[in-house]
Amino acid sequence: MHRLRSFISRCIATLRPRRAATDEDLSTELKSHVQFLTEENIRRGMNEADARAAANREFGGVEQTKEKYREQRGWSAMSALWRDVRYGSRLLTKTPALSAVIILILAVGIGSGTAIYSLIDACLLRSNTYPVVDRWDVIRAYLPSQKIYSNYLSTPEILEVKQLTDIFDDVGAVHGDGFTLSAGEFPERIGGTHVSANAITMTQVAPFMGRTFLPEEDHPGGPLVALLSYELWHRKFSEDRNILGKPIRLSDVTYTVVGVMPPHFDFWGGQVWIPLQLDLADQNRSDRRNWIVGVLRKDVTEKQANARLRALSMQLAERYGTAMPEYRDWSLAVWNINEAVIGGVRPALLTLAGAVAFLVLIASANVAILLMARSTARMREIAVRMALGARPRQIVRQLLTESLLIAIIAAIAGVCIAAATLPLLVHMIPLEWLTTFPELIRVNIRALAVACGIAATVGVLFGLAPALQLARQDFVESLKEGGSKIGGDRRGRSARSSLVVAEIAMSLVVLAACALMLQSYRHLQGIDLGFRPDHMLSFEISLPQVHYARRDQIAGFFQRAVASIQSLPHVDAAGVVSGQPMTDRTVDLASRDFSIEGRPTQDAHANENANFRIVTPGYFRTMGMRLLQGRALSEQDGVNAPPTTVINESMSHTYWPNGDALGKQIRLGRVYGRREMYAQADAPEVVLTIVGIVADVKQTRVIEQPARPEIYIPLAQQTDPPRDMAFVVRSSIDPTQLVTSIRGALATIDPQEPVSDVDTMDQIVVDAFGPKRLTLFLLAFLAAVVLVLSSVGLYAALAYSVGQRRHEIGIRVALGADGRDISRMVVAHGARLALLGVALGLGASLLLTRLMKDLLYGVSAGDPLTLAGTALLLTAVALIACFVPARRATQIDPLVALRYE
Amino acid sequence: MTPPSGEVLQGTLDLIVLKTLDAMGSQHGYGIAMRIQQVSEDLLKLNQGTLYPALLRLEQRGWISSKWGVSENNRKAKFYTLTRTGRRQLATETESWERMAAVIQRLIRTQGA
């Protein structure tokens, strides 16, 4: 029994936390020591109080001894940390509102910054494409005489680039195409790409199922095989696991499926890939119909590659220059695929990234202000602790733990905010604006890490400020009653003031950027598109070569289709065009050299060049384009009539500045661009008479760019009419109600041909503004957060300063200052900071907004009106932020304030 | 540089405590402090509080051990005892102290002459 009990107590002793026991032991031990001393003193004849005091003196400070003892005992790292964390969280909860605000601001900074950056990264940087994307290039030619890049090159040129094995790991060729997929109930138009066998393996992305192409499949007359995108496989083939080896029909040709690519594999925008089957024996250098893609060797820079390509261009000029004038001054160069995809959006990207950086900095500055204010308030407490024997190292460690505690809680909250905001943002943004799959937009870990890092650094730096300040000064000073209250804390105040000023300045930059974007967006929306997009439906039809080989078949189909649509009720007009304006695929697709009859060309090989579009006569009226001179094309401009053309205003201005273009003749030459669209590879030279001039139409989505010279040619007079055409229909009712009747009308002509890309013109125009609106939207979001944060910063600094100056304000009130004087004093203080910040911000804006001038249209980067408006708004918000602390200052009761000290 | 006279030299407190325990056997902190003052005839002004970190230090090194007990006047107190390694340590420290003291003495004398 006896033994058992002792065993149990031993067990309990082991289980009991050791540290707590020893701390208690020490107390007992020291207490008994002092008691011994006291008793001894009493025995010597002192009274009890004296005896105790003397004992304490002899012992020399119980608390200091404890502190030293503890230090000697050496906390295990964990228990010290635990103690600091406990103490830290106790302090945090002691001022719950302040702690919550600090954490909230930090979390909002981390969270929203990360969310926006993740969105930018996913949409614009697309850091998650292929492993080789940094070295993946398009090789294109620059033609200085036409000031255009030619992305399409000929077979001999492809082979010549392919021989540069010293700079390229691999070189392939591709060209985009459209196919009519006959699967399921209705035939459907899908995008597809012809690729050389190595082009897909070059991306180093493995197929999800099956295999990619074999070299033996990439010869003319080789087997007709196809690779499907995961999305197509999912959508049209219900993820059929046994699809490999099965036939599919693309534009009435049967292909065998050999593989399925993984989800989100984006290669030339297609949903299906088929072998290019390039005829390597083709010697025709002017038949340029493929893009060259290559992967740079790891040790080769773009500069080296371009030097090598330039040498090749010069070789070609030397050998073929006489027969082919375009070789004389052209030069080949690499164009990184990332650059090709995001090059145009880089200014937007940089602007947004800059705004995000400012957001995080402003949030950090806010936290710094609040932390400094809080720590300064704790100087007394720290001084007391140091007087009681705490070492500076311990104080620093503890403040550090506390700051880190804030940073960690804020980081966790920030992650939650980022995770919550991102889907919300993605949800708020229309799908068409996103350049990536929404499911690929995830919280970016690197951005999160950077934001948390900045937040933690700020927290630590400013959390430690009081300890560092104490290390410099005598803490006895801080202990003196009210010592640091009246005039003191000057350094802290000036630091806080500079932070507030910096914050306001940064906010102004972000607000100014947003205001400029807004202005330029409004200007863009005000641009005359050259056509009326309302009440218009558009769709596309591609005729298969199998059934439509001859000119009369192609032209006949489109003319009959237009006629039958025009006879439908509610249809005002209908037309067909070879390149529809403002769709996402409308880059200036095709252009043609020409010369003006009777006018000598200045330079033998510097031909004039203009975009061209093949149209039916009703196109101009349907689009609502303005006829400026002469007449529009008409049904009289038929096969047997003299060849005619209508040109646009830009062309008329450029070549006939005196306005005498009508009746002049032009001779058409070489064709550039997607020649596979046309029935015949080589267009014969024809002479056209200009019969009319129409207003410029914004053809591409880059609507701020001036229109290029443009030639409209009647479809009826084309010897090689294109098979891919877009229809435009103008109606008197909501155009979407016409879709069924139009499908019916077309089915009576050829039920096999699918209608694709059905959309209203209004929607197409809205989509064209998508990326710009996305930038504006994100920037506005950032600006709003920044505005709130900086006003909170100003508010916090002022409120703290009012708290600090209670005593002073109390004296002022006692000496007769009334509420208005006091509030004026506080508001003046805030206004000084705000105005200084606004002034600095204006300077910074003038410097920084210049970087976004490529983004702006119709408004200069330093637009005084926009900047003034922004400054006014910010000042107004800042003054509102001053109002609450000012009010609180007037409510200070001098009696309370003075007694408080 | 010169410590105020009567203050315990850095590092010598350990030796003093060890020697005291060697002489007295098991003893509590107060007893040790009294004994030191008694032996030094109050010449050594020991800040008694500093004794405890020193005791802990010695215990951590395994030179002394501690145990709760009851003092002569019936008060709960912690008693410290020299361990075997402590005894060995005392021998080495005494030896090195004597050597050091001799060296310093010689130095002072030479300087004086």
Q: Do A29 and B29 touch (CB under 8 A)?
A: yes
Which of A535-539, A855-859, A889-893 tops mean pLDDT? A535-539
* A14 pLDDT tier (thresholds 50, 70, 90): very low
Q: Could you tell me the CA-to-CA distances from A160 to A308, A323, A369, A533, B41 in Å, in that order?
A: 12, 18, 64, 46, 105
**Whose CA is closest to A118, among A432, A416, A419, A409?**
A419
Determine the pLDDT at residue A729: 94
How far apart (Å, rounded) are the C-alpha atoms in residues A115 and A58?
63
A498-543: pLDDT as tens digits: 888 888 888 888 888 888 888 888 888 888 888 898 999 999 888 8
Strands A168-182 and A209-210: unpaired
| Contact status of B52 with chain A (Cβ, < 8 Å) | yes
Helices assigned H by DSSP within A121-182: 155-162
How far apart (Å, rounded) are the C-alpha atoms in residues A308 and A167?
8
A723-762: pLDDT as tens digits: 888 899 999 999 888 888 998 888 888 888 888 888 899 8
| Contact status of A30 with chain B (Cβ, < 8 Å) | yes
Q: Could you tell me the CA-to-CA distances from A217 to A76, A196, A258, A676 in Å, in that order?
A: 70, 9, 11, 21
Element at A892 (helix H, strand E) = none
Q: Do A33 and B73 touch (CB under 8 A)?
A: no
Q: Give the single-character DSSP code of A720.
A: S
Determine the pLDDT at residue A612: 84
Q: What is the mean pLDDT of residues A555-563?
A: 91
What are phi and psi for residue A137, nearest 5 degrees?
-125, 155
Nearest to A58 among B28, B48, B56 (CB): B48
* A16 pLDDT tier (thresholds 50, 70, 90): very low
How far apart (Å, rounded) are the C-alpha atoms in residues A256 and A265?
20
What is the average pLDDT value for chain A, to the nearest integer? 80
Sign of CA dihedral A211, A136, A347, A855: negative
Whether A1 shows a pLDDT value over 50: the answer reads no
Contacts of A681 (CB under 8 A, 6+ apart): A287, A289, A675
Q: Please list the residues that pair with A247 across neighbouring strands.
A: A256
Q: pTM value?
A: 0.67
A801-815: pLDDT as tens digits: 777 777 788 888 888
Residues of chain B positioned with their CB less than 8 A from the CB of A31 = none
Element at A836 (helix H, strand E) = helix A819-848
Q: Which residue has the tokens 């802290």?
A: A492
Total beta-carbon pairs less than 8 A apart between chain A and chain B: 57
Q: Do A33 and B30 touch (CB under 8 A)?
A: yes
Go through A851-864 and write b for each residue having 16 or more CB atoms within 10 A of its CB, e for each that does not.
Answer: ebeebbbebebbbe
Whether A419 shows a pLDDT value over 50: the answer reads yes
How far apart (Å, rounded) are the C-alpha atoms in residues B80 and A549?
111
Determine the pLDDT at residue A4: 57
Which of A323-327, A635-639, B4-8 tops mean pLDDT? A635-639
How far apart (Å, rounded) are the C-alpha atoms in residues A30 and A306?
83
Whether A271 shows a pLDDT value over 60: the answer reads yes
| End-to-end alpha carbon distance in chain A | 64
Chain B residues 68-87 within an 8 A CB cutoff of chain A:
68, 71, 73, 75-78
Which residue does chain A place closest to B69, by CA atoms? A29
A288-310: pLDDT as tens digits: 788 888 888 888 888 998 999 99
Residues of chain B positioned with their CB less than 8 A from the CB of A32 = 28, 30, 71, 75-77
**Whose CA is closest to A585, among A757, A453, A705?**
A757
| Contact status of A27 with chain B (Cβ, < 8 Å) | no
Which residue does chain B place closest to A69, by CA atoms? B53
Q: Do A64 and B49 touch (CB under 8 A)?
A: yes
Span of A34-38, A468-472, A516-520, B35-39 with lowest mean pLDDT = A468-472
3-state secondary structure A808-830: HHHHHHHCCCCHHHHHHHHHHHH
Q: Do A69 and B53 touch (CB under 8 A)?
A: yes
Number of C-beta neighbours around residue A668 at 10 A: 21
Contacts of A135 (CB under 8 A, 6+ apart): A169, A295, A296, A297, A298
Q: Which residue has the tokens 């690779």?
A: A227
- The amino acid occupying position B56 is L
Q: Do A29 and B52 touch (CB under 8 A)?
A: yes
Q: Which two tokens stand for residue A509?
A: 């930059």
| Contact status of A104 with chain B (Cβ, < 8 Å) | no
Q: What is the mean pLDDT of residues A43-60?
A: 84
Q: Could you tell me the CA-to-CA distances from A105 to A30, A406, A425, A897 in Å, in that order?
A: 47, 11, 19, 30
* A471 pLDDT tier (thresholds 50, 70, 90): low
How far apart (Å, rounded) are the C-alpha atoms in residues A798 and A813?
19
Are A249 and A196 spatial neighbours (Cβ–Cβ below 8 Å)? no
Radius of gyration of chain B (CA): 16
How far apart (Å, rounded) are the C-alpha atoms in residues A177 and A161?
23
Helix axes A445-463, A392-428, angle to 10 degrees: 150
Go through A514-542 and write b for each residue having 16 or more CB atoms within 10 A of its CB, e for each that does not.
Answer: bbbbbbbbeebeeeebbbebebbbbbbbb
